[in-house]
Structures are given as structure tokens and as C-alpha cells.
Chains A and B, each alone.
Chain A
Amino acid sequence: MTPIPKTANVSPSTQRNLRRRPLPLKLIVGAILCSFLLFIAVIGPRLAPYPRDWSEKIAYEMTEEGPVAVYPPRPPSTAHWLGTDRWGYDIFSLILYGAPWTIFTALAVACARVFVGACLGLVRGTRAGEAPSLRNTGPLGALPHFLVVFFVMAGINTASPLHPWQLVLIQGLLMTAVGVPAIASSLSEKVYTHKRAQFVEAAESLGAGRVRVGIRHIVPMLREDLMLLVLTEVILVLTLLGQLGIFNLFLGGTKLGLDPPAYYSITNEWAGLIGQSRASLQVNQWTVLAPLGAFVSAVISLYVLLRGLEQWTREGLARHSYLSR
């Protein structure tokens, strides 16, 4: 049998047009913001102005009314850009130290989710026969993801003998597992739609098997969807991390102070910084605002990139509403 010619792998015209279209502004801004985020994640710890174990001590300052004791937490100043927290740590440094944990974990979990989800979706969608049934996850699917992760990690994350890396690995696997079913089911539907496209049918009638159809014809059709999905999932994983942080479950381990009971993040990941400073929300707001700001700017950067990508990939598919005029 003659090998299937290269031209059988036709990509749709919309995809070919992609390269000629001008990049939307949102995409450029988003890409710059996200590269900055990655940059911070890679070399953030080296940029930190204070060493990891440095903390401000109680000191006396001479004022006109005599010596005044100054003690942490101190509001933002030139020495401490984002102020210091209750224990005198420089918050700006903490955020930089926590950046790699936060960002790389979110990225890795999102990629793992999409990879596993895509494999499962491909297998389910290309299976011969009827359309993949929209799997109803039932009432258990209604329980928020953080609950499942929380109930596993609650027993082992606080005052844990495990190394932060091991805890991150366990939590990462869990966070991947809870996110896979939704991705798999939505992708299997898409795969099924593509599978019924005429060019796939043509390839099949030329003798292409299920694996070849999957890899050569369907995966290229899904490329944009997968790209968008990874970004969406990074945002979702960050949200999940943040929610766990609110419940004192910090990525990489929670240290427990007993008198008074207080929770500290070992890795200084951003959700942990938010969670551990939440108690001082009424008094020293900068201690919450700074990590919250870092977290929100990460989410917004990802969102801008996501919107830009969406706009870029979906342009040319515009339709007209008959209601508007």
C-alpha cells in the first residue's frame, strides 16, 4: 500500500490564516506580563533584598519626644518596600522567595492536568461508536475541588515530617487528579466532533488507524484549544491554591505555632502568605495586601494573555447578531 501522502493532513484554512493575522494588543500585553511573571519565578529568590532568615528586631528611634520603640510589623518604607510582617520579615523578599513555588507548581499542575485530560479525551473521543456521553459527575462533582485536596492534606500537611518537596509533589498530584475529569470530558466531546469531519473520514477510508487519526489529524485540530486550556487551568490551580491557603493549608507545608496558635507557610508561597497574614487584616493591612496584590496580578496577567489568545485564534469566525439592527 502506498503511504498516505502528506497532503492528507490538511489543516483548516482558519489555522493557516493564523500566521498572517496581526497580533491583538491583549496578546502582546499578556505575553509581556506573563514573561515578567516567569522571570520573577526564575530569578526572584536571587533578587530578594533580604536573606531568607533575616528579620527586623525591636529598635529605638530618637524623636523630638524622646526615644520611641519601633517594632514589626512596620508599614512600607524605603527600607522595606512592602513593609514587614508580624515577625519582622521583609514582605517583598518573602514574596520573591515564594514566587517559584507558586508559579511553577501552578504551571506544572495545569500542564499535567491538560496532558492527562487530553490523553483520556482522545481515547474516549476516538473510540468507535456513539458520541461520548456527557458524563454526569453527579452530586460528588458539586463538591468544590479544594475540599477533596483539603481532606487528604489536612492530616499530613501541618507540622509534617515530610520534606516540602514531597508535600508539593503529593499536593500537585492531588490537584492534577481533581482537575482531570472535567478536561477529559470536554475534550472527548471536541475530539468526537473533529472525528466526524470529512477529512478525518477521508483519512480513515485511506486506511489510517485510530492512533494515526488521533495523532496526525485530531491533535493538530486541538492545538489552540489545548493552549487556551493550559492558561485557564493555571488560573484555576492558582485559585485552588489560594482557597487552600485560606484554610491554612499551605503548599509545601504548614508550620504550626502553638502559643498563640498561628499557621506559617514554610515555602512562603503566595497563597500561604495571604493565609498566614489574614489574621492581621483589621490592623496591619499591608501584610495581607502585598501578597494578595502579587496573587491578583498573576491571575490578571494570565487572564489578559488568555483573552488575547482567544481573540487571536477566534478572529475570522465572527458572526452577526440579527438583534442588533
Chain B
Amino acid sequence: MPTILRYAGPARHVLRERTSISIPPIIRRPAYLLGCLLGLFLIAGLPEVFYVQGGVLHVDPLALPRSIAGYVHGLFTGESFTYGAHWASRSFIDTLRYTLPTSLRYSSIALTISLLLGLSFGVLLGARRREAAQDLLGGVGVLPDFVLALLLQIAVVAIFKETGLRLARTASISVEEQAVLLPLIVLSVLPTVYLMRDVSHRVFEVSTKEYVLVARAQGLSTARTTWRHVLPHALVHVRANATKLAALMLGNLFIVEYLFNLRGVTRLLFAWAGSRYYEFALVFNSLVVTIGLFFILVIAMRLLLSAIQEAAARL
């Protein structure tokens, strides 16, 4: 057998290089960190810059540096970690004790579900190109998260009205009675569809490569070719898109926590919406925590994908 045709699978050094977790630039570069903080300050400060009072539109660009200075000062006095009017002031850290686990629980379960389903169905779809399946998937993927949430809520209420059957809670009414099923469905459907499309696309791309033909010509089965030769290479691209997927999940989390009345981190960003006073410190703190959540999601996703990649390459 001519040795030149023997393909040894994805080169180990390529994998090793790709599977190492790189330190995000936010930690590596202080200037970058500063820029991010300024960006968050800007977003949090916007409602104080543009506002309507007494039927007149005010634009107060100086409110931004004022708020930032107030926040930094509050860091030392501790005021930046409390919110609410002074007679009903609450600690932000205490609030995090229940909001952060809630957000983490929902998003990590959704992440696991969508990775499992997205990867397995993506590989199945990618090996055979089915236009109809792609059309359908894209059609579900194009529906916004809030449409999905509202439709599910309406469906549950309609079924209850018709049959008296309570399939799921349409919203959380207390700590004990949290809506679980519907939020998880909404949180996982869009990432799953996104992953399925991405993975199937990548798997198809890789499967048109000549080394796959060589592997097949050597008599390797479809399953083995897929696992050993196609999947690791396809996953490299999926891993590179992990931030996009995490951003998608985060965006969904905002909508889901709001629509299903979950006490998560992203709800804190809108806690001031009904009240008279704007809470700069609360919004800024919540933004920072939300970004932290995003990084946790990205790292979890990368680790899981790396594990799958390694397992596939070692098979």
C-alpha cells in the first residue's frame, strides 16, 4: 500500500493547539478591560443622559461622569452595592445569592441540552444534505425567542381551558412555584437550531474534503469516518463560534427571565423600569454580572466541546 495515502486522522498537534483554553483578552490587557468597563458605564448611564421630565426632553451628557464618579465613590463607602430607596435599601450581594444561581441553573441546563441535541442531529443532518430539513430548521431558527415563548404560553393556557390539563407553568408565581419546562424549552430551542445548522454545515464542508474520500477508500465505516475524521475538524469551527452561541443564549435569557418572571440576574437590569428613580449602580453591577455569566457560558461550552473533540480524536 502506498504510504502516501495513509491518513492518520486529524493531526494531534493541531488538536492540542486548538483545545487549549486561551486567556481572554479582558484579563490579559488592562486597557481592554478599561474600555469594556467604560462601555458598560456608558450603557448604564444612558437613561440619565436622555430623559423626559415634565413633558420636556432633557439631554444631560454631564450626568455620565457624575454617575461614574458617584459609583466609584460608592465603591469605598459600600453604597454602590446597595439599591432601592434608603428606607427599603437592599444589598446587591444578597440579591446575587438567589439571582445568580437561578440564571446559572437555567442557562447551564439549556446549554447541555442544546449541545447534546445540536451536535448529534447536526452530524446526522450534515452527512446527508436534506433541503427540506434545512428549510424547516431555518424556519424555526428565524422565529424570535419571544414569539416562541408567547406561543408556548398561549398553547398551555388554551390546552388548560379545553381539557383542564395543566401541562406547565406559564410563569413563576413564587419561589416554590417556578416555571421550569417552558423557559427551558425556549432557552434551548434556538441554540439547538443554531448549533444543528452550524454543525451540519461544517460537517458537510469537511465531508467534501478529499481526505475523507481517502478514509472511505481505505474501508473505514461511515460512523468511524464521521467520528474520527470529520467531527474533530468540524468542531474546530463550532468552538470558534462559541462566543456567538453564548451571546445568543444570553440574549434569550433576557427575554425568558422577563417573560416567565424568573428571578435571575438579567431581571435586575429592568428592576428600576417601573419606579421613579433610576438605579445606576444596580444596572452597572448587573451588567458586570451578566458579562461574567457570558464568560462562564463560553468557557463551559469550550470545555465541553474540547472534551468531545478529544474523545473523538482518540477513538
Contact = CB atoms under 8 A, between A and B. Distances in A.
B138 A303 contact: yes
A322 B208 CA distance: 6
Interface residues of A, number: 52
B259 interface: yes
Contact of A285 (B158, B216, B222): B158
Given A144-B254, A261-B274, A289 B127 contact: no
Contacts of B150: 274, 278, 281, 288, 292
Interface string A128-152: 0000000010111111101110011
Interface stretch (B38-46, B67-75, B98-106, B191-199): B38-46
Contacts of B146: 242-243, 246
A166 B255 CA distance: 27
A162 interface: yes
B181 interface: no
Interface in A34-79: none
Interface in B29-60: 32, 35-36, 39-40, 43-44, 46-52, 55-57
Given A160-B57, A282-B157, A322 B212 contact: yes
B247 A307 contact: no
B207 interface: yes
B225 interface: yes
Interface stretch (B11-19, B287-295, B304-312): B287-295
Contact of B135 (A152, A239, A307, A319): A307
A238 to B, nearest CB: 8
A155 interface: yes
Interface in B195-226: 203-204, 207-209, 212-213, 216, 222, 225-226
A151 B250 contact: no
B290 A162 contact: no
A156 interface: yes
A282 B166 CA distance: 13
Nearest to A311: B131
Given A160-B57, A321-B204, A296 B143 contact: yes
Contacts of B274: 261
B273 A246 contact: no
Contact of A307 (B138, B153, B243): B138
Contacts of B246: 142
B182 interface: no
Instruction: Report whether over half of chain B's contact residues are helix, strand or loop; otherwise say mixed.
Output: helix
Contacts of B203: 323
B250 A139 contact: no
B285 interface: no
Nearest to A151: B46
Contacts of B222: 323
Contact of B43 (A151, A282, A303): A151
A181 to B, nearest CB: 13
B51 A155 contact: yes
B23 interface: no
Contacts of A159: 52, 55
B115 interface: no
A321 B215 CA distance: 13
Nearest to B128: A324
A31 interface: no
Given A147-B254, A242-B146, A323-B212, A139 B36 contact: yes
Interface string B228-271: 00100000000000010011001100110011000000000110
B46 A155 contact: yes
A274 B158 CA distance: 18
A285 B154 contact: yes
A226 interface: no
Query: Which of A26, A243, A311 is the most central at the interface, judged by chain B CB atoms within 10 Å of its CB?
Result: A243
B2 interface: no
B36 A323 contact: no
Contact of B142 (A161, A278, A303, A323): A303
A58 to B, nearest CB: 25
B47 A154 contact: yes
B61 interface: no
Contacts of B78: none
B144 interface: yes
B147 interface: yes
A285 B159 CA distance: 12
A158 B52 contact: yes
A300 interface: yes
Contacts of A235: 142
Nearest to B51: A155
Interface string A157-188: 01111100000000000000000000000000
Contacts of A311: 131
9 contacts: A146-B251, A151-B43, A151-B44, A154-B46, A159-B52, A238-B144, A242-B146, A321-B204, A324-B207
Q: Sorted from nearest, which 7 A-B pairs have the closest CB atoms?
A: A144-B251, A155-B51, A239-B144, A321-B207, A151-B46, A142-B247, A323-B207
Given A143-B287, A322-B207, 9 more contacts: A143-B43, A143-B250, A148-B43, A151-B43, A160-B52, A242-B144, A248-B273, A321-B207, A323-B128
